[in-house]
Structure 1
């Protein structure tokens, strides 16, 4: 037990020192803090220059709430929960496997360090996006998980920062399901992760932005605003009652597995979910949901 307590303590102090370094001292290209700010500002400018819903205010409904979510979820949430949790779970898993005489390294299929850089990045991107696509489907299909995912779907006006409005439980699930697939590959470094991270953030911001793009023929590969708006539609036909267009960065999985749905131009459709008028509106209440609220009837 002492081992795990020390692990948690060191994880907190290590991440806190890392966060201070990122914010105040580190000016390298792979700085996650300023990379997020730069991508957000670029996409926000694109919203100003190419607005899809022209009557939507620049500082749309819940703009500041979503901006707070953006920084909280990507930085403070790691400090509060995810770093210590992921370090501890990894140690517990390795110890459990060691108890039966097995090492996680024995499951490693290949090491991307032995591959060309571009191929290694492609494998990291494809595997993580496919796992996250499936995780996203679970959030819609499992009633208990949907209660948490409603925080993200409580967005009523789309804008780039809505991308990162999500309940603290979501990254716990995403990271847990991603851990083993990435562990059996191995060999990624911080720069590899940063490249994939920045690309995913840019596509995710654009998906939620007030921009009417679909990328032409590339819409069958990459998720896009005209496709993702339907994922947030309040009204859905019965045959897609669990949701549609689950793509995180790639739309490819939706087209392959027949979960794509774009019946017409969705620029002005109503967003949300049934009975969302009773859903909590402030950050604290949303973060405590559904632990302190009864399930929707």
Structure 2
């Protein structure tokens, strides 16, 4: 137990030092803090220049709430719990496997380092996105998880920062389900992972932005604003009542597994979910909502 406590404590100090490094050192291209800011400003400028919903204000409804969520979830939340929790749980998981005679290395199918860099990154990206697509489906199908996911679906006007409005429990679920698949395909260089990270953030921001784009033929590969707006639709037919268009970065999985749904131009559809009129409007109440909901 003492070992896990030490891992938990060290994770805090290590991440705090890392965060200070991100804020101060501008000499490395894979700076997550400023990378997020640059991508966010770029997509916001696209919204301003090419608005799909022309009557929607530049500072739309909940703009500042979503901006707070964006920085809280990507930086403060990691500092408070996620890094320490994931490091401790992964060590506990590895120790548990060892007790039953299994090493995490024995589960590894191959090492991406043995592949050309571009192929290793592609494998990492596809595996991560597919697992997250399935996890997203679970968030809609399992009532307990849906209560957490409601925070994201409480968005009433779409904009880039809505991408990162989510309850802190969501990344716990995502990271937990991603752990074994990523362990099976081996380790990755941090800078290489940053490439996938920035690409995923950019696509995610664009999906939620006030933009009327579908990327033409590439809509069958990449998620896009015209497709993702239907994921946030308040009213859906009964045969898709658990949700549609679950892709995070890729739309490919939705088309392959028949969860795609774009019946018509969704520019002006109502967003939200049934009963969202009584859903909390402020950050703290939204975070506490799933804990109070039976």
Q: TM-score normalised to the size of structure 1?
A: 0.98
Deviations 1:207-257 (A, max 9, x none): 000000000000000000000000000001101000000000000000000
- Residue 57 (structure 1) aligned with residue 57 (structure 2): yes
Shift of 1:138: 0.1
Partner of 1:145: 145
Deviations 1:187-223 (A, max 9, x none): 3011111000000000000000000000000000000
RMSD, aligned α-carbons: 0.7
1: distance between equivalents of 2:27 and 2:59? Answer: 29
Larger mean CA deviation between 95-104 and 118-127 belongs to 95-104
Partner of 2:202: 202
2: distance between equivalents of 1:22 and 1:129? Answer: 26
Deviations 1:149-199 (A, max 9, x none): 000000000000000000000000000000110011113011111000000
2: distance between equivalents of 1:68 and 1:147? Answer: 21
Deviations 1:66-111 (A, max 9, x none): 0000000001111111101110111111111111222101111111
Partner of 1:221: 221
Q: Which runs of 5+ in 1 are unaligned?
A: none
Shift of 1:27: 2.8
- Residue 155 (structure 1) aligned with residue 155 (structure 2): yes
Partner of 1:4: 4
Partner of 1:27: 27
1: distance between equivalents of 2:283 and 2:79? Answer: 18
Shift of 1:26: 4.2
Partner of 1:244: 244
Q: How does 1:142-291 map to 2 (within 5 A)?
A: 142-291=142-291
1: distance between equivalents of 2:163 and 2:69? Answer: 9
1: distance between equivalents of 2:27 and 2:270? Answer: 42
Q: Which runs of 5+ in 2 are unaligned?
A: none
